[in-house]
Amino acid sequence: MSTAWDNGRRHARALETALEGKVSSYSKLAAVISRGTSSSAGSSSDSAAALDEEGVGRYKLVEEEIEELLGKVHLGSLRIDGDLGVLKHLSKLEQAIDDLVTLINSPSQPPSSSMQHAAQRHRETLDDYRRDFIRTRNNVDQAVQRSNLLGSVRKDINDYKSSLPSQTDALLADRGRIDSSHRMMDDTLNQAYATREDFSSQRTMLASIDSRMGGVLSQMPGINSLITMIRTRRRRDTIIVAVVIGGCMLLLLGYMFGF
């Protein structure tokens, strides 16, 4: 039993070392995929698709190798096909652990405490690798699903944008017409303001002339009386002329009708 146990221990250590390297590589690829899916929202669709295709293909290959190593750790020389699912490997792993426990607990040759401790350590190591692998794979699946969702949303947005040019052109044309109307109204208002300023300047000028005339008249009071006398004489002359003309007309009528 000692020779078989030593061979099994060396084989288990070799598999654990290989498994550790594969899990590390798998975690790095998963990190690359997660970063790629996170940054693909701001990058072009072609580069994001290329990154997803390359990263997913590599992590699937490493995933199959890790599943195969997980099966070898506890199943000894039994080869497990890398295409089998993790659940199938776990079920076979549980059966192998049960067989190992049965061998250790054999009454014919009881194992030492070091053997039991070593078996327990291998079990815990495998459980740690399995948890890391499952957690990493779940993270990768979520990243891939998020990438697919972002790609679908991006496609919907692009389709929506491609249907907008006609509406956008119509809105731009309407805006151009509105801007043209605004410019015409501004020109009209500017002309009205200029006309109002002209009227204001003319009113100021007329008020100045009236003020000057009033000042001249106030400085020469004799002019008002002279103007009044002239107006009175003209009115008197007009009345005299009217009376003379009326008398002449009466005399002419009397002569014509024999009065």
Write the pLDDT tens digit of every residue in 68-119: 554 444 433 322 333 334 445 445 555 555 555 666 666 666 666 777 777 7
* 31 class by beta-carbon count within 10 Å (0-12 exposed, 13-18 middle, 19+ buried): middle
Please check the confidence at residue 26 and state whether its pLDDT lies above 80: no
Region 157-172: mean pLDDT is 71
Tell me how crowded residue 67 is: count the other CB atoms within 10 A of its CB. Answer: 23
Region 148-160: mean pLDDT is 75
Region 204-209: mean pLDDT is 88
**pLDDT at 36 (0 to 100):** 60
pTM of the entire predicted model = 0.44
Q: How confident is the model at residue 213 (pLDDT cuts 50, 70, 90)?
A: confident
**pLDDT at 239 (0 to 100):** 93
Rounded to whole angstroms, the maximal C-alpha distance in the chain is 189
**pLDDT at 28 (0 to 100):** 76
CA distances from 148 to 41, 76, 227, 241 (A): 11, 39, 106, 117
**pLDDT at 156 (0 to 100):** 75
Question: Phi-psi region for residue 221, left (φ > 0), alpha (ψ -120 to 50) or beta?
Answer: alpha
DSSP 42: T
Residue 181 tokens read as 């109307």
DSSP 1: -
Torsion of CA 149, 150, 154, 160, to 10 degrees: 50
- Nearest Cα to Cα of residue 25 among 71, 54, 61, 75: 61
Tell me how crowded residue 65 is: count the other CB atoms within 10 A of its CB. Answer: 16
